[in-house]
Chains A and B, each alone.
Chain A
Amino acid sequence: MKVLVPVKRVVDYNVKVRVKADETDVDLANVKMSMNPFDEIAVEEAVRLKEKGIVSEVVAVSCGPAACQDTLRSAMAMGADRGILVESDGELQPLAVAKLLKAVCEKEGPSLLICGKQAIDDDSNQTGQMLAALMDWPQATFASKVELAADKVTVTREIDGGLETLAMALPAVVTTDLRLNEPRYATLPNIMKAKKKPLDTIAADTLGVDIAPRLKTIKVSEPPKRAGGVKVADVADLLNKLRNEAKVI
């Protein structure tokens, strides 16, 4: 069984992002880039399924500029068997990525696609659901547990108010939530091995899909800052402030 795992190259989780002075974008010059953390969880899950012997091949896919090769190598260092770069230098929005992934799915014929529930740059939380709709596949978003069998997948999802378990036939799309697993660190030998794994590049414009951005960002601004408040001396002082100054209790 083949599993496809899309991975996105994003600003590293630990970078404090700043807005540019001209308010056109955030400043991404010289910041560290890494694999989107939710996608790491997706790679980890796919690799674990392979280690359990249920999955035979894990294919990582990334859509974006040539630098996404690094992200694919990271996925291969974690255990993905090969990588596919769908190369495009322009801005790719979730609908465009879903269409590119659809073209890749049609070519590769995976039984399961596992992807992160959202990317930590645009926080869209769309691509997995969009791909599932375009393929007319079932979806299980925000997964905290995945049980894969030969012809179906049972997924526990984190929903508002608790957990929900869905069972669905394959092929299907699963998007990962934080508690699905803890991704492994790639070891040095595996990083070296990953360099020799196959990585194919497909030019996005050869896939015959419309990837033009539909949303234009006209301004990026700092959110209103919260002024730090005061320290109170003790519980009595706190209560006094809440009652008489803030008037919230």
Chain B
Amino acid sequence: MAVLVLAEHDNKSLKAATLNTIAAAIKLSGDVDVLVAGEGCAEVAARVAALQGVKRVLVVDNAAYGDQAAEPLAKLVVSLAANYSHLLGPSSSYGKNTMPRVAALLDVAQISDIVGVVSEDTFVRPIYAGNALATVVSSDAKKVITVRSTAFDPVADGASAAVENAAAADAAKKSDLVGRELTKSERPELGAAKVVVSGGRGLGSGESFKSIMEPLADKLGAAIGASRAAVDAGFVSNDCQVGQTGKIVAPQLYIAVGMSGAIQHLAGMKDSKVIVAINKDPDAPIFQVADYGLVADLFEAVPQLTASL
């Protein structure tokens, strides 16, 4: 049976996590449809249609879905659910907000944050902040799933799927969007970056976080991450937080600067290909997971590293 993926986008551009979610869907069925619900989102639909493995793009262009509120969106997904065995969304703040509503309305469990597909009804997902992996079997007729993007390689371009319009569902809004404060950045998206440079409390202040980490990120074309301690101390904004309750990342290279390596942080980055830790405390737990550890004062080592790149 066919599988439906809920695309994440901002009406203009497709969010990278959608590519990984489609990759997970392909493991379940050769028949993958993608729902693009938004307002003025034709560009996004065209982008999705070019992705390998997508059979059909369903577009619902309606003001009700413009700000991606969970309530109307969940009803829309439910209205389309009859044709699908599995409904997938990314395990991002968008997917986590919407998909449980879909599951509840369909009276099925949600399988959260999967990192592996064993079979049509069996999935692997992390529990206890990634300290254990559970293999779960769903007995529900339909499976509602969120996908951890770092566990699936993104699909590539190179196809041209059919784009069809679909009907809006009960589109009554239940909340008003007052505003958004989005961090503007020329850097790559944290969840999809090939290199992440991440700072902790050791940086001492927002000013040094900026003056030490940003030049390094610029040199490497990296996204900037942070530990919870650095975010709570106000060095950087919350959307930089990597960890159990923040973003989960798995870049090719993760450079951890001035952070101890709390278990909740490790949960968010331990699947990175290469981990570098720079910390002056040789006993910091971060060194237990780092491929390369440099015991040094970050205020000397990082500028030196930046200058040598």
- A residues within 8 Å of B by Cβ? 11, 16-19, 26, 93-95, 98, 117-118, 120-134, 137-142, 144, 154, 157-169, 177-179, 214-223, 226, 228-232, 234-236, 238-239, 241-242, 246, 248-249
Number of A-B contacts (CB under 8 A): 251
Chain B residue nearest in CB terms to A159: B93
> Are B239 and A162 in touch, CB under 8 angstroms?
yes
Bound form: Cα–Cα A236–B135 in Å: 44
B231 CB contacts on chain A under 8 angstroms: 179
Given the known inter-chain contacts A16-B131, A93-B109, A239-B305, please indicate yes or no for A154 contacting B253, CB distance below 8 A. Answer: no
> Are A161 and B239 in touch, CB under 8 angstroms?
yes
> Are B133 and A220 in touch, CB under 8 angstroms?
yes
Chain A residue nearest in CB terms to B75: A133
> Are B175 and A19 in touch, CB under 8 angstroms?
no
Which among B58-66, B120-128, B159-167, B206-214 touches the partner chain? B120-128
Given the known inter-chain contacts A126-B110, A129-B101, please indicate yes or no for A223 contacting B178, CB distance below 8 A. Answer: no
> Are A17 and B132 in touch, CB under 8 angstroms?
yes
Report 30 cross-chain contacts, Cβ distance below 8 Å, ordered by A residue: A93-B109, A94-B109, A95-B110, A121-B128, A125-B113, A130-B103, A133-B74, A134-B105, A159-B180, A160-B15, A162-B180, A164-B177, A164-B179, A168-B176, A178-B232, A214-B140, A218-B136, A220-B132, A220-B135, A223-B133, A226-B289, A228-B287, A230-B291, A231-B282, A231-B292, A235-B301, A235-B308, A238-B294, A246-B274, A249-B253
> Are B113 and A123 in touch, CB under 8 angstroms?
yes
The secondary structure that dominates the A interface is: mixed
B228 touches A (CB below 8 Å)? yes
Chain B residue nearest in CB terms to A26: B132
Given contacts A165-B180, A232-B292, 4 further A-B contacts (CB under 8 A): A93-B109, A221-B133, A222-B132, A242-B292
A216's contact among B94, B136, B288, by CB below 8 Å, is which?
Answer: B136
> Are B96 and A141 in touch, CB under 8 angstroms?
yes
B258 touches A (CB below 8 Å)? no
Bound form: Cα–Cα A217–B71 in Å: 30
Chain B residue nearest in CB terms to A137: B174
Contacting residues of chain B (172-191) with chain A, CB-CB under 8 angstroms: 174-183, 191
A16 CB contacts on chain B under 8 angstroms: 131, 263
Chain B residue nearest in CB terms to A13: B264
A177's contact among B105, B126, B245, by CB below 8 Å, is which?
Answer: B245
B221 → A minimal CB distance (Å): 10
> B109, B239, B244, B296 — which one has the most chain A CB atoms within 10 A of its CB?
B109
Given the known inter-chain contacts A132-B101, A242-B276, please indicate yes or no for A138 contacting B71, CB distance below 8 A. Answer: yes
> Are B104 and A162 in touch, CB under 8 angstroms?
no
> Are A129 and B136 in touch, CB under 8 angstroms?
no
> Are A231 and B287 in touch, CB under 8 angstroms?
yes
B11 touches A (CB below 8 Å)? no
> Are A167 and B178 in touch, CB under 8 angstroms?
yes
Bound form: Cα–Cα A164–B305 in Å: 36
> Are A17 and B136 in touch, CB under 8 angstroms?
no
Chain B residue nearest in CB terms to A118: B245
> Are B180 and A95 in touch, CB under 8 angstroms?
no
A215's contact among B93, B111, B179, by CB below 8 Å, is which?
Answer: B111
A170 → B minimal CB distance (Å): 11
The 6 closest A-B pairs by CB, nearest first: A138-B174, A229-B291, A129-B100, A214-B109, A130-B104, A133-B101
Given the known inter-chain contacts A94-B100, A162-B239, A165-B180, please indicate yes or no for A235 contacting B132, CB distance below 8 A. Answer: no
B96 CB contacts on chain A under 8 angstroms: 125, 129, 141-142
B140 CB contacts on chain A under 8 angstroms: 214
> Are B128 and A120 in touch, CB under 8 angstroms?
yes
A234 CB contacts on chain B under 8 angstroms: 294, 296
> Are A221 and B113 in touch, CB under 8 angstroms?
no
